[in-house]
Amino acid sequence: MSKLAFLYLSNVNVRYIILLIIFMFISFDFYSNELNSNKLRTIVIDPGHGGKDPGTMGTKRYTKYEKDIALSVSLKLGDYISNSFPETKVIYTRKNDVFLELNERTRIANKSNADIFVSIHCDGFTNSKAYGASVFVMGMSKLKANLDVAMRENAAIYLEDNYKQKYDGFDPKSAESYIVFSLMQNTYLDQSLQLAEFVEEQFAYIANRKSRGIKQAPFYVISRTNMPSILVECGFLTNPKEEDYLQTEKGQNQIALSIFEAVKNYKLSLESSSTENNLIDSNNINNKIENNLNHNKVIYKVQIATNLISILNDRKFEDIKVEEKIVNGIYKYYVGASMDKSVINEIKTNLINNGFKDAFIVAFYNGKRISTKDALNLQKQNN
Ligand SMILES: [Zn+2]
């Protein structure tokens, strides 16, 4: 209550008061969840296909197919993670060229209580001109192209014994079979999108890939995992140029490094929820809330949600002043705007305590999203 009094007396923005009102309805559930979910302890890496299932065979100019490139990228990704974050456990669904059933992959993930699941694949298409990397989250898309990719990947099921029995009659190539996916709730959509977004960013940054964007599709393998899950299509093996790139050590390294950097950002955003709370300097809250998006100024905001369709009118936002922005077809929701990170930290903490447990800080420079590390450096330079 002393905090309420303090904020009231310091006559801060009305947004704060509204936030504070909802803080009074703190749900202990949310709080205890948050305590458990702020570390990236385990990651499951799932190299697509394997053994008798080669996946996409590309232009057939090489002897390495989708299963081989997916495995190679996966192992490199795992190495990057283990070397940089020895405390994070890396589990592979397969570490060599073996055939693995789709439900075995999800079983491994669920059994290990992983914090994230990353399935790695390469794309293929009838038109050899198609190129670029895509990141998918689970969901029913209205786009036929997305359904086609999912059908192709899910077709691995045909190579399994008794697949009709095991998958309750699910037929990977029949459109009717996908109706059930539209009824499925993707509990981890928000976090999955967040991770997907980080990967997408890094593909452009590190691997200089054309990004085909973040998409939603009914992939079986990420539909049954009980954790934020993404499926990465590293590029098209049916495109000769892209295939050349993906066959090289350099290409595979760049792709793996991009996904690693994304995982790192995701880890930091998760973990900052707990560590940054200690850095709050409440004295700085006074008069520091600024909404002016001046040029050459670093502006911090709290991102609280991302979605593929607008959720601006969602009930969970009804007591908060939320800003909606559409970036690369993704709807993003921000709260607050300030040049002072401690102000935004305070807002973030409050949001987390009110159920927005994935809230994290983002920085902008001249309206463009930058990393919070770059933001800090820019601020140092300017002072
Ligand atoms: Zn695949």
Question: What are the pLDDT digits (tens) for 203-224?
Answer: 887 888 887 889 999 999 999 9
pLDDT score, position 12: 52
Distance 176 CA to ligand 1 centre (A): 21
Distance 279 CA to ligand 1 centre (A): 44
309: number of Cβ within 10 Å = 8
Distance 89 CA to ligand 1 centre (A): 24
Q: Which residues surround ligand 1, an ion (CB under 5 A)?
A: 48, 55, 121, 153
137-194 pLDDT, tens per residue?
998 887 888 899 999 999 999 999 988 888 988 999 998 888 888 877 778 988 999 8
* Residue 372 half-sphere exposure toward CB, CA atoms < 13 A: 18
Distance 321 CA to ligand 1 centre (A): 42
Which of 17-21, 132-136, 167-171 is the least confident region?
17-21
Distance 49 CA to ligand 1 centre (A): 6
Distance 306 CA to ligand 1 centre (A): 26
Would you say residue 16 has pLDDT above 70?
no
Which of 137-146, 228-237, 269-278 is the least confident region?
269-278
Q: Please check whether residue 120 is in contact with residue 47, taking contact to mean a CB–CB distance below 8 angstroms.
A: yes
Distance 121 CA to ligand 1 centre (A): 4
281 or 381, higher pLDDT: 381
Distance 237 CA to ligand 1 centre (A): 11
pLDDT score, position 278: 34
Q: Please check whether residue 282 is in contact with residue 6, taking contact to mean a CB–CB distance below 8 angstroms.
A: yes
User: What is d(CA 343, CA 291) in angstroms, rounded to the nearest whole number?
Assistant: 12
Distance 122 CA to ligand 1 centre (A): 6
Instruction: Give residue 281's pLDDT band: very low, low, confident or very high (50, 70, 90).
Output: very low
Q: Percent of the chain, pLDDT > 70?
A: 84
Distance 51 CA to ligand 1 centre (A): 13
Instruction: Give residue 273's pLDDT band: very low, low, confident or very high (50, 70, 90).
Output: low
Q: Is the pTM of this model over 0.75?
A: no
Q: What is the mean pLDDT of the chain?
A: 83
Distance 233 CA to ligand 1 centre (A): 7
Would you say residue 14 has pLDDT above 60?
no
User: What is d(CA 352, CA 271) in angstroms, rounded to the nearest whole number?
Assistant: 12
Q: Please check whether residue 60 is in contact with residue 243, taking contact to mean a CB–CB distance below 8 angstroms.
A: no
Would you say residue 280 has pLDDT above 60?
no
323-372 pLDDT, tens per residue?
888 877 788 899 888 888 888 888 898 888 888 888 899 998 877 888 88
Distance 285 CA to ligand 1 centre (A): 50
State the average pLDDT over residues 3-8. 49
Would you say residue 279 has pLDDT above 50?
no
Instruction: Give residue 13's pLDDT band: very low, low, confident or very high (50, 70, 90).
Output: low
Distance 281 CA to ligand 1 centre (A): 49
Distance 287 CA to ligand 1 centre (A): 53
Distance 73 CA to ligand 1 centre (A): 13
DSSP symbol at 248: S
CA 332 to chain centroid: 13
